[in-house]
Amino acid sequence: MTQSPVRGHALVTGASSGIGAAIAREYAARGMPLVLVARRAERLQALAAELSARVECVVIAADLADPATPARLFEATTSRGLFISTLVNNAGYGVPGRYLSADWKTHADFIQVLMTSVAELTHRYLPAMEAAGHGRILNVASLAGLVPATAGHTLYGATKLWLVRFSESLDLEMKKHGVHVTAVCPGMTYTEFHDVNGMREKVSQLPKGIWLTSAEVAKLAVDAVEAGRPRLITGRTNRLLAALSKYLPDHLASALISSRSKDFRDAD
């Protein structure tokens, strides 16, 4: 088994499918032992069985919508004597439709998973990285956080913009301690995300050239955090969209995104 040049384990949330599973596979290919976290224990066990020939895999089934989960995760890894040298905050999903189409508990769970748990897990695992003088934190954000807002999925872009800013600020604080923090901002990626939020039929009509596979995103993301890049936008088309959003007048950029938002957002 190839030994990783990076000390410790990589803890990946949302590892049961999509980009999270792809990032786990990418780290396993680089010889890094893993802590796999998600709600679906069966899928985690299947992924661990796939990767255990290469690296050690610890499986922890947990729901990050539960506010007690980050502390339990930290205790579970600490009690095993594991040093989490890489933290991948990937767990996430979308809440389709208008803001008022879902009850507050749905939105509160969403904020807990995509924001609060990220902040808490980072706060808990960061001190050991700082003390060791080495660490990597990879936060899976989205192109949605870098382009103008659209109707529907109201909290999604807002949380992803928060994640980008959080990552950039933390990277500035921690780089002198040997800790790299990166926000990866994928655009359209072949995963189960659009099946879960009911948008598969609509997004399947988008041009094939704007899509990347989850494996492609994972490799780019891991390369970026190892290189110390605080932000990565995956794909040439996505970088163009982000640039247009930044440099076009606000009203033009907003009109451009809003005119096509029905292709990837459900606002009904």
The DSSP output letter for 53 is T
Which pair of tokens denotes residue 134?
A: 């080495």
Q: How far apart are CA 146 and CA 185, in angstroms?
A: 8
The pair phi, psi for residue 147, each rounded to 5°, is -115, 165
- Is 125 part of the annotated catalytic residue set? no
Buried b / exposed e along 163-176 (16+ C-beta atoms within 10 A): bbebbeebbeebee
Which residues are 12's β-sheet partners? 36, 88
- Beta-strand relationship, 179-185 and 231-233: parallel
User: Of the listed 27, 93, 125, 156, which one is catalytic?
Assistant: 156
Task: Compute CA distances 184 → 69, 171, 190, 221, 235, whole Å.
Answer: 24, 13, 16, 6, 11
Q: Are 159 and 204 in contact (CB under 8 A)?
A: no
Q: How far apart are CA 211 and CA 237, in angstroms?
A: 9
The pair phi, psi for residue 63, each rounded to 5°, is -110, 115
- Catalytic residue annotation: 156
